[in-house]
């Protein structure tokens, strides 16, 4: 982690879970958050990563593997000490979900894994 701290970061905005995960990992390693990261929620940030070997980012593994398979970036495996955040489904009491929302909830529940 200390070696990676020297590189320029492309990060998610602070309100996103991947940003919180990065903050926890850096904190556990005793490292500060980067002073001037490039912050974006766009998956097209990968184009920034292609610009220079001095850029690094934390990405979901499935996204990173897709771009690696197309030769667009290289994965640097870094063991994570903390677990990623868990997610829940929150709906309005008594409210009816739209068909699309209902299908989305069903898809999420189909992906549930025991912790």
In-domain check, residue 30: yes
Give pTM, 2 decimals: 0.61
13's tokens: 């905005």
In-domain check, residue 11: yes
Q: If you average pLDDT over every residue of the chain, what do you get? A: 82
- 68-93 pLDDT, tens digit each: 999 888 998 888 887 766 667 778 88
In-domain check, residue 92: no
In-domain check, residue 24: yes
Number of folded domains that form the chain? 1
In-domain check, residue 27: yes
- pLDDT of amino acid 43: 66
In-domain check, residue 75: no
- pLDDT for residue 22 is more than 60: yes
> Could you tell me the end-to-end alpha-carbon distance of the chain, in angstroms, rounded to an integer?
26
What per-residue string of b and e applies to 11-31 under the rule 16 or more CB within 10 Å gives b? bbeeeeebbebbebbbeeeee
In-domain check, residue 10: yes
In-domain check, residue 76: no
């Amino acid at each position: 982690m200390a070696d990676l701290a020297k590189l320029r970061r492309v990060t998610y905005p602070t309100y996103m879970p991947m940003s919180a995960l990065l903050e926890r990992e850096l904190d556990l390693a005793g490292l500060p958050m980067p002073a001037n990261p490039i912050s974006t929620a766009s998956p097209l940030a990968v184009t920034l990563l292609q610009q220079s070997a001095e850029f690094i980012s934390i990405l979901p593994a499935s996204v990173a593997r897709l771009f690696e398979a197309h030769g667009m970036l290289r994965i640097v495996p870094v063991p994570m000490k903390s677990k990623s955040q868990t997610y829940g489904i929150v709906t309005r009491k008594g409210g009816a979900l739209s068909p699309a929302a209902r299908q989305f909830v069903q898809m999420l529940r189909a992906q549930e894994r025991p912790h």
